[in-house]
Amino acid sequence: MKLFLKGEKCFSPKCPMVRRPYPPGVHGQKPVSLSEYEKQLREAQKIKWTYGIRDRQFKNYLEEAKRQKELTVADALKQLLERRLDNVVFLAGFALSRRHARQMVSHGHFYLNGRKITIPSYLVKPNDVIALKEKSKKSQLAEEIKRKKETAHPPEWLEVDFENLTIKVKRLPLPEEVKVPFDFDLAIERYSR
């Protein structure tokens, strides 16, 4: 499955999944039936690779999702993962990929409500304002972001100002707004043993 981990390359014919749409190795082209455990493992791995989190972090998000009463566990997990700062920067169109957004946040290119933040896993809240720092606004990166204005399609729960290079979180994302092709229920089953 195409996870779009390589940014723009995944939309071109040079994408490895387009060139070779089968697993690597000698036996990659043979059909394989997967066990239930392997299906659950693959879904969990897809989620972790896409959001750039490790197993321990995923378990912590799952525990947090189980504590929320108003949403199902799968919907709460989707919402928690979408609220990560690096994911918000990517969804707003300020980075080429989630990995690129994570690096930008880690290197201190953003301010959250006027304070420098370097934690990619920070969970944003409604009315949070994320801004590119002044020094970064003069870089080539800022010019690329401004050029992407026409092609970027940020979700409705984010308000993006491409002129001032700011992102405002209007509200929390709704589960149906999360556009990821994963079966969260299978991943949750894997950790519910």
pTM, 2 dp: 0.82
Q: Which residues pair with 67 in a beta bridge?
A: none
Q: Mean pLDDT, the chain, as a whole number?
A: 87
Cβ distance 180 to 80 under 8 Å? Answer: no
CATH of domain 37-173+183-193: 3.10.290.10
- Give tens-digit pLDDT for 81-101: 999 999 999 999 898 889 999
Domains in the chain: boundaries: 37-173+183-193
Looking at the chain, list the stretches that DSSP marks H as alpha helix, in order from N- to C-terminal side.
16-19, 36-51, 55-67, 73-82, 85-91, 98-106, 134-137, 140-147, 184-191
pLDDT of residue 128: 95
With tokens 């690597």, the residue in question is 24
Q: How many CB atoms lie within 10 A of CB 20?
A: 11
Rounded-to-integer distance, Cα 106 and Cα 74, Å: 28
pLDDT at 111 over 90: yes
More confident residue, 187 or 14: 187
140-190 pLDDT tens trace? 888 888 887 777 888 999 999 988 899 999 999 998 888 888 889 999 998
CA–CA dist 110, 112 (Å, integer): 7
